[in-house]
Amino acid sequence: AGVLNGLRFAYTQTILWAIDQPSGPVRANDYSPEIYYELPVSRSVTAALGYKHLSNGGGLTDSADMNRIFARASWHIALGNDWEATISPQAWVYVGEDGGADDLDRYWGYTSLMLSVGQLDGLKVSGMLRGNPGTGKGAGELFISYPLTRLGGLGIYAFGQGFTGYGETIGDYRRRSSYARFGIAFTR
């Protein structure tokens, strides 16, 4: 226990491979470390406050990055038979220099809403909406996953994903796109 008990560190790296391309199949590579403090408010509600960085790791000509401070609340609703629904609204402010992404707020806005329904060791379906109502730009994502196996506590999940809107990756946040894909994930 103690005051540091709710301190969390996370790192997400998203690599999008274009396997239909004959050479150079990596289309995008995003790096996202974050640190946040998570606090249980009740048995079914948690709140979090943190800092998140997102970058494509590009050089002088193609770099895009942003930093933001976020607040999130999550409501966990037991549905029975090991099923749970989670509702997580999140709000953020951009801080510091926006390297190559100075108008990201026009495409990503300042809020998102995530919804999920699933089992801890079974099927999970989640959706995300984010955007800027003032510009009419935003995005939606649907993510379906199923655990394949556990290796020393590390989960491996098969997933299907659909995305439509702006900014699937930080390097192309100004471009509207729609994708459907499948793959392997180590978290969900």
- 27 pLDDT tier (thresholds 50, 70, 90): confident
- 50 pLDDT tier (thresholds 50, 70, 90): very high
pLDDT tops 70 at residue 152: no
CB 131 within 8 A of CB 110: no
pLDDT tops 80 at residue 7: yes
Taking the model in full, what pTM does it have?
0.85
pLDDT tens for residues 66-90? 999 999 999 999 999 899 999 999 9
pLDDT of residue 60: 66
Instruction: Please indicate whether residue 33 or residue 56 has the higher confidence score (pLDDT).
Output: 33
pLDDT of residue 109: 93
pLDDT tops 80 at residue 3: no
pLDDT of residue 32: 93
pLDDT tops 90 at residue 23: no
pLDDT tops 90 at residue 161: yes
CB 188 within 8 A of CB 122: no
Q: Quick one: the chain helix, strand, coil %, rounded to 5?
A: 5, 65, 30
pLDDT of residue 183: 84
pLDDT of residue 162: 96
pLDDT tops 70 at residue 98: no
Mean pLDDT of 145-174: 85
pLDDT of residue 153: 62
Phi/psi at 64 (nearest 5 deg)?
Answer: -145, 130
- Placement of tokens 């199949």 in the chain: 25
CB 55 within 8 A of CB 42: no
Three-state secondary-structure class, residue 107: helix
pLDDT of residue 128: 97
Mean pLDDT of 138-151: 88
Q: What is the dihedral of CA 92, 97, 100, 102, to 10 degrees?
A: 50
Residues in the chain: 188
pLDDT of residue 151: 58
pLDDT of residue 24: 65
- In 41-136 the beta strands, taken as DSSP E runs, fall at 45-55, 65-80, 83-94, 111-119, 124-132
Q: Rounded to whole angstroms, how far apart are CA atoms 13 and 126?
A: 19
